[in-house]
Amino acid sequence: MNHSDTEKINLFLAPMEGVTDWVMRDLLTALGGIDQCVTEFLRVTDTIYPDSVFYKNCPELKTKSKTRSGTPVFIQLLGGQSEPLALNAQRAVQLGALGIDLNFGCPAKTVNRHDGGASLLKCTDRIFNIVKTVRDAIPKNIPVTVKIRLGFDDPAQCLDNAVAITEAGATWLTVHCRTKTDGYRPPAYWEWIAKIKEVTKIKIIANGEIWTVDDFKKCKDVTGCTDFMIGRGALRNPYVFSEIQNLNSAEQTTSDFNSDEKNKNLKLIPGFYQACVLFKSESFAIARTKQWLNQLSHNNEYVKNIFDELKILEIPAEFKNQLEEMIH
């Protein structure tokens, strides 16, 4: 498959709580291919957050809301009450947010107990009210975007929700093609996107189970979308975005890369560790580095051996020395 010359493919880095913080956004966008990022969610109950919380969630606010390589970052809000969400959205925009993304897809029990995330997928009128209230609260030129799952327990819930989200004035809609009940179990039901497109004209971003270039091609064929969001696949192969964007170029790569290609991912790790130390602390860096190595070790014995050696180390000096010895 080739992208036609005129067809621009837009790729989004999925928000992942505890993973896609400033360091990860900075690193991944520097590798190329990512058109748009979203912060981890900021859970809104009944207060307006102090500015420090927005800056912590989105340090890019200090760099025109773009990563250092120039990729725009929207602030993601999660919650069930429209007024506090609107007030926090207003504040985020005053601080320089380029867009507000509303998350109705979060399956976490604590979030749903507190009336946010995926539990709202059963309440179309409340979703409408939240999106419209936030939309009306901030300037028209600032996008309000929405992320949903197909439904709470019934995928057909996506149709009414997509209509409501459109009528409330959202700029685009990302659909993680599974219900809350599906959790993260494959497959993702991409075919629902075609049905959603029959009921709304807003831009739909397809999300779920895009791990490789081949998955991207299949998802594109099934959905007819030009916009795609990738989450966990970015951790297994940080170059997946540029590989997709390069499909047309001469130096085309595929997901079927050889071991040298695979191990080039490893070369990112020491810089990532160092960036995490600077961002927070050594213990944070150790935890995040183990987390990422674990993902990279999927189907890769060489990386798995390195991960096995490093995962038992807790003392920063030992961890760092071993890391430098094993990866250079």
Ligand X SMILES: Cc1cc2nc3c(=O)[nH]c(=O)nc-3n(C[C@H](O)[C@H](O)[C@H](O)COP(=O)(O)O)c2cc1C
Catalytic residues, by residue number, are: 106
Smallest gap from Cβ 149 to ligand X, in A, equals 8
Region binding ligand X by CB under 6 A among candidate stretches 82-90, 207-215, 267-275, 298-306: 207-215
Contact criterion met (CB below 8 Å) for 68 and 26: yes
Binding mask 153-192 for ligand X (x = CB under 6 A): -----------------------x----------------
Q: How far is CA 281 from the centre of its chain?
A: 24
Please say whether the beta carbons of 307 and 290 come within 8 A: yes
Strand pairing category for 36-43 and 73-78? parallel
What is the Cα–Cα distance from 175 to 81, expressed in whole angstroms?
21
Interface with ligand X (CB under 6 A), residue from 9, 11, 14, 100: 14
Per CB under 6 A, the segment of 29-37, 103-111, 134-142, 240-248 that binds ligand X is 103-111
Q: What is the DSSP string of 153-220?
A: S-TTHHHHHHHHHHHTT-SEEEEEEEETTTTT-S---THHHHHHHHH--SEEEEES---SHHHHHHHH
Q: Show the site string, 225-254: x = touches ligand X by CB under 6 A, - = not.
A: -----xxxx---------------------
CA atoms within 13 A on the CB side of 3: 21
Min. distance of Cβ 58 from ligand X in angstroms?
13
Give the CA count within 13 Å in the CB-facing half-sphere of 161: 32
Which residue lies nearest ligand X, judged by its C-beta? 231
**Positions 35 through 74 that interact with ligand X (CB under 6 A):** 40-41
Nearer to ligand X, 98 or 240 (CB): 240
Name which of 224, 210, 123, 213 is nearest 164 in CA terms: 123
Of 8-16, 256-264, 277-285, 307-315, which part binds ligand X (CB under 6 A)? Answer: 8-16
User: Interface with ligand X by CB under 6 A: which residues?
Assistant: 14-19, 40-41, 76, 103, 105-106, 147, 176, 207-210, 230-233
